Amino acid sequence: HDGHSQRYQVAKVDFPHVSTPFIISLWIFIAGLAKIGFHVTPKIHLICPESCLLIVVGVLIGLLLFYTGFHSVEHLTPDVFFLYMLPPIILDAGYFMPNRLFFDNMISILIYAVVGTVWNALTIGLSLWAIGLTGLYGVELPLLDTLLFSSIVSAVDPVAVLAVFEEIQVNEVLNILVFGESLLNDAVTVVLYHMFEGYTEMGQENLITIDYIAGVASFFVAALGGALIGIIWGVLAAFISRFSHHVRIIEPLFVFVLAYLAYLNAELFHLSGIVALAFCGITMKNYVEENISYKSHVTVKYTMKMLASSSETIIFLFLGVSTVNDDHEWNTWFVVMTILFCTLYRAIGVIIQTWFLNRFRLHKINKVEQFIMAYGGLRGAVAFALVLVISENVIPTKAMMVTTVIAEVYFTVFIQGMTIGPLVRILNVSTSQKTKLSMNERLHTRLMDYLMAGIEDISGHPMGNYHLRDKFKYYNNKYIRPFLT
């Protein structure tokens, strides 16, 4: 011991030892501060939504890091985003989903999510490609590359939509339509993304008919498989919570762990993790709530809300930080055309689909609501994370695409997100009424439900909404509930 020059130190600095958890905690801390800052600043929520402000704070931090030389640190990596930050938000959305509203509007939501997203992806992709043929962009852009890109920007983002629509409080049907679409279209995005990625790797000239058929088939696998996995884990969570009343303290744990497993399980097979998680939440909620204690319920609720809200905050913050780097490749015409086509085709798509759906819907979607639907089609971090995953070896124009996606995200979140609140007020969109139902209303609407189910049965409606719900309720009460609660 004597030979050592260094003596025993009372204290020393060992940053590498704690760097990762330290930086993560620091980020959460900053995000929390930013959120508090937003809410204590009077009237700022009238000017811009929280998400915009968080991005601005993120950009400022990014600039600070960039000029102080810390820019080598990667912030929003796809893995971090998809494995840690996205699941809490989706679980929260699925678990607190107004089930009845969701299933009543299921057909419309599915049409918007599936047909709408495919329509957007194809029209945006083909238009961008056609414009590219004129040589306007100055770079060569093969058709499949463009379609891969358009499949990323075409989907409405659940995180951005949730953040903005939570604040503007439109009526519940409009809300569930946009929000449900943003959740379910993940299945489409996942499939289109993997499909075009696969096609691009194979090369356009090697594609044969069977590949296209496989592409279409994989959509059903991703969507239905995701939903099925979600339901299985949801049922398991409900079943386990039946036996947890001896150890109340771990009740919330099962809710979170099993939901997360559902997500990972879906991702494992390249199915839609978002759909799986949403359905897991929808499935388990009613049964779990009956099984767990009130305190556990409060814990579940608050933990979920806290995780979702902090994760959302961090996403927007990181989105801001990650845009500050020197890999950008700005292509004005490509950016302008992308934004133009995204807006234009979303509007056209919503109008055509709504015209079709309104012929079958009882609650017609009026012109103003259609406008808000088209306008509320925000793009967000999912698109950003997906475009980062593209391999530069396969698609040489990746840098340009990343920049364009960022531009599109900023455009929708800032311009549309900031103006949608005032527009809702100006256009007099009916807003949600959060008053409690009176005893009479509860009783009579319940009676009407049974009555309408009966009328549907008498008139021979094999797939009527009331009829299906009634049937589900009957089997649920008779077989499923006794088993799970």
Partner 1 sequence: MGNKSSLMLQEEEIAEIQDETGFSPSQIERLYSRFTSLDKGDNGTLSREDFLRIPELAINPLGDRIVHAFFTDAHDDRINFRQFMHVLSRFRPLKKNRENKFNSREEKLRFAFRMYDLDDDNKISRDELLAVLHMMVGANISEEQLASIADRTIMEADTDGDQMISFEEFCATLERTDVEEKMSIRFLH
CB-nearer residue toward partner 1: 291 or 338: 291
- What is the DSSP track for 140-206? ---HHHHHHHHHHHSSPPHHHHHHHHHHH-B-HHHHHHHHHHHHHHHHHHHHHHHHHHHHHHH-GGG
Q: Which position among 448, 472, 479, 483 is part of the footprint of partner 1 (CB under 8 A)?
A: 448
Q: Which position among 433, 434, 436, 482 is part of the footprint of partner 1 (CB under 8 A)?
A: 433
- For position 363 contacting partner 1 by CB under 8 A, the verdict is yes
Residue carrying structure tokens 């009613």: 286
Q: Which position among 264, 461, 476, 485 is part of the footprint of partner 1 (CB under 8 A)?
A: 461
**Dihedral sign of CA atoms 333, 338, 339, 341 in order:** positive
Rg, Å, the chain Cα set: 24
The answer to whether the CB of 94 falls within 8 A of the CB of 180 is no
| Least distance to partner 1, CB of residue 301, Å | 24
- For position 39 contacting partner 1 by CB under 8 A, the verdict is no
- For position 454 contacting partner 1 by CB under 8 A, the verdict is yes
Binding part of the chain for partner 1, among 134-142, 147-155, 325-333, 467-475 by CB under 8 A, reads 467-475
- What's the CA angle centered on 167, arms 288 and 94, to 5 degrees? 25
Alpha-carbon distances of 195 from 188, 212, 244, 297, rounded to whole Å: 10, 9, 43, 41
- For position 367 contacting partner 1 by CB under 8 A, the verdict is no
Q: How many CA atoms lie within 13 A of 214 on its CB side?
A: 10
- For position 482 contacting partner 1 by CB under 8 A, the verdict is no
Q: Which position among 37, 451, 472, 479 is part of the footprint of partner 1 (CB under 8 A)?
A: 451
The answer to whether the CB of 85 falls within 8 A of the CB of 311 is yes
CA–CA gap between residue 471 and residue 228 (Å, rounded): 20
Binding part of the chain for partner 1, among 179-187, 239-247, 383-391, 445-453 by CB under 8 A, reads 445-453
What binding mask, one character per residue, do residues 388-427 give for partner 1 by CB under 8 A, x or -? ----------------------------------------
Judged by DSSP in three states, 49 sits in coil
What binding mask, one character per residue, do residues 165-194 give for partner 1 by CB under 8 A, x or -? ------------------------------
Backbone angles phi, psi at 170, to 5 degrees: -75, 175
The residue count for binding partner 1 (CB under 8 A) is 34
CA–CA gap between residue 68 and residue 60 (Å, rounded): 12
Binding part of the chain for partner 1, among 266-274, 277-285, 295-303, 441-449 by CB under 8 A, reads 441-449
Q: Which position among 157, 186, 312, 456 is part of the footprint of partner 1 (CB under 8 A)?
A: 456
Q: Interhelix angle for 439-458 vs 465-475, to 10°?
A: 100
Q: Which position among 445, 472, 479, 483 is part of the footprint of partner 1 (CB under 8 A)?
A: 445
Binding part of the chain for partner 1, among 150-158, 303-311, 381-389, 465-473 by CB under 8 A, reads 465-473
| Least distance to partner 1, CB of residue 453, Å | 6
- For position 466 contacting partner 1 by CB under 8 A, the verdict is yes
- Please list the residues that pair with 170 across neighbouring strands: 431
Q: Which position among 446, 472, 479, 483 is part of the footprint of partner 1 (CB under 8 A)?
A: 446
Binding part of the chain for partner 1, among 76-84, 337-345, 356-364, 408-416 by CB under 8 A, reads 356-364
- For position 360 contacting partner 1 by CB under 8 A, the verdict is yes
CA–CA gap between residue 81 and residue 390 (Å, rounded): 15
Give the contacts of 441 (CB within 8 A, at least 6 positions apart). none
| Least distance to partner 1, CB of residue 456, Å | 6
CA–CA gap between residue 152 and residue 379 (Å, rounded): 9
Query: Where does this chain bind partner 1 (CB under 8 A)?
Result: 360, 362-363, 433, 438-441, 443-448, 450-461, 464-467, 470-471, 474, 477
